[in-house]
Amino acid sequence: MPQPLSLAQHTLFAELLDQGLEDLFDPDFPENGSFLVRRRTNRAGAIRSYAYYQGYRPAAEGRDGGRRYSCYVGPTDDPAIGEQIARFKRIKAVRAERSSTVDALVGAGLPRPLATIGRMVEELAKAGLFPSRAVLIGAAAYQTYSGVLGVRLSKALSTINDDSVARANPIAVYLKDPVPGGLDGLYGVGPSLAPAMGITDDVGATRFPSKGLFHLGLLTAPHDGDRHSSKLVATLEQRIAAQPAQLLDFLTDQPVRSIVLYGPGIAVTIPSPERYAVHALIVHGQQGTGVDDQVRTTSNLAQATELIEALDLVGRRSAIERMFAEAWEREPNWRTHLLDSLSALPEAPGTILKARATELRARLPVPPSLRPRTPSQ
């Protein structure tokens, strides 16, 4: 059962959320490096200071990957160079302060992702996917609902730590637009991360499986008015594609902001908790009987249950009821899935929605074959 966070804990999360991604990244000088200043005497005997940046290449960048490198930046008395160094120091200070806040929230019981998953989300943020170009979905998004709702959710439901779970619950990202500049940074996250081609290999990769860790899935809603299309939608750069998936237009409508509690706290965009819960109910009702389907079935129902309880706890029962009604009215074929899932919910969360379902079913038109006959008939 979800438990409320203290006011101080919820306020810490809100402060991180307000700061967003401001002053967290410098594309030219990654924050894991440092600046060095060296003094040199020129031929006239004058002493001048010069700045050098020392950093680390990601392990995926060829034979020099993972090694320290140094590059010349310029004289420190150049105002532009001085500003670059000052910005770098500002970013380091902001990241250190925010990291302390993240540690405090994790210490209070909020879930922290595995380091590899956190680094992956950070690379997606550096690529400019959040807040407007993409929505983080799946278990990686579920990890962030504790702070959004101000409750302590189950760590077990927020964890991706098993290969079978990783296959069923990838780090999934819904792409709204092409990714400018590509996603080169993804390959530095882990040596085993590699693209897996989709339906048509001439378009690009839709999945990036990492051996023994997780899958990164790039998804998008069907285009061109075809709601059941399985055509790949390629981004403009990097030959990376997004695999269309049904239900995504519902799930990602009107997303909200949140924080992945890794490093300094990575600002992301996620589905609203009530949409995530109702989407999980629909998917649960659609599930097959395969091994991965069984994993997803258990996960979806458990997550929906916990989010419904959390929304009720914080006084947002009407939000989940409205979202249930929206899904019911939006797609007639979803109704059976929703009713099947309601019957599988535990008693308390099930009660919250069953009355709404009964009301919605009563509004449905009665089929002609079931209408009572009049004497004239």
340-353 confidence digits (pLDDT tens) = 999 999 988 888 88
At 231 the pLDDT is 44
pLDDT of 259 strictly over 80: yes
At 199 the pLDDT is 41
**Distance from first CA to last CA of the chain, Å, rounded?**
56
Q: Which residues contact 353 (CB under 8 A, 6 or more apart)?
A: 308, 320, 321, 324, 342, 345
111-134 confidence digits (pLDDT tens) = 888 887 888 888 888 878 887 778
Give the residue from 293, 1, 305, 345 showing the smallest Cα distance to 169.
293
Judged by DSSP in three states, 10 sits in helix
Q: Kind and range of the H or E element at 278?
A: helix 273-286
Look at the block and give the residue holding tokens 């709204």.
176
pLDDT of 207 strictly over 80: no
| 227 against 334, higher pLDDT | 334
User: How large is the average pLDDT for residues 100-110?
Assistant: 93
| 18 against 181, higher pLDDT | 18
At 14 the pLDDT is 93
pLDDT band at residue 175 using 50, 70 and 90 as cut-offs: confident
Give the residue from 235, 125, 265 showing the smallest Cα distance to 185.
125
pLDDT of 239 strictly over 50: no
At 182 the pLDDT is 59
- Name the DSSP class of 371: S
Give the residue from 277, 281, 342 showing the smallest Cα distance to 306.
277
Query: Is the full-model pTM beyond 0.85?
Result: no
pLDDT of 176 strictly over 80: no
pLDDT of 202 strictly over 90: no
Judged by DSSP in three states, 330 sits in helix
**Which of 77-81, 251-255, 359-363 is predicted least confidently?**
359-363
User: How large is the average pLDDT for residues 10-28?
Assistant: 87
DSSP letters along 136-193, please?
EESHHHHTTHHHHHTEE--SGGG---SHHHHHHS-EEEEESS--TT--GGGGGT-TT-
CB atoms within 10 A of CB 117: 25
What's the mean per-residue pLDDT of the chain? 77
Share of the chain above pLDDT 90, in %: 35
- Name the DSSP class of 3: E
pLDDT of 72 strictly over 50: yes
At 177 the pLDDT is 66
At 248 the pLDDT is 84
Measured N-to-C along each axis, helices 291-313 and 347-363 cross at an angle, to the nearest 10 degrees, of 90
| 183 against 144, higher pLDDT | 144
- Round the CA-based radius of gyration of the chain to a whole number and report it: 25
Domain range summary for the chain, segments of one domain joined by +: 8-107, 273-364
pLDDT of 373 strictly over 90: no
pLDDT of 41 strictly over 80: yes
Q: Kind and range of the H or E element at 243?
A: strand 241-244
User: How large is the average pLDDT for residues 153-157?
Assistant: 76
pLDDT band at residue 168 using 50, 70 and 90 as cut-offs: very low
Structure tokens at 261: 């509690």
Burial of 92 (0-12, 13-18, 19+ CB in 10 A): middle
Q: How far apart are CA 213 and CA 222, in angstroms?
A: 28
Q: How far apart are CA 125 and CA 130, in angstroms?
A: 6
Give the residue from 142, 369, 129 showing the smallest Cα distance to 261.
142
DSSP letters along 48-94, please?
EEEEEEEEE--TTSGGGTT-EEEEEEEETTSHHHHHHHHHHHHHHHH
pLDDT band at residue 197 using 50, 70 and 90 as cut-offs: very low
Dihedral of the alpha carbons of 87, 92, 94, 96, in degrees to the nearest 10: -170
The residue type found at 154 is S
At 290 the pLDDT is 44
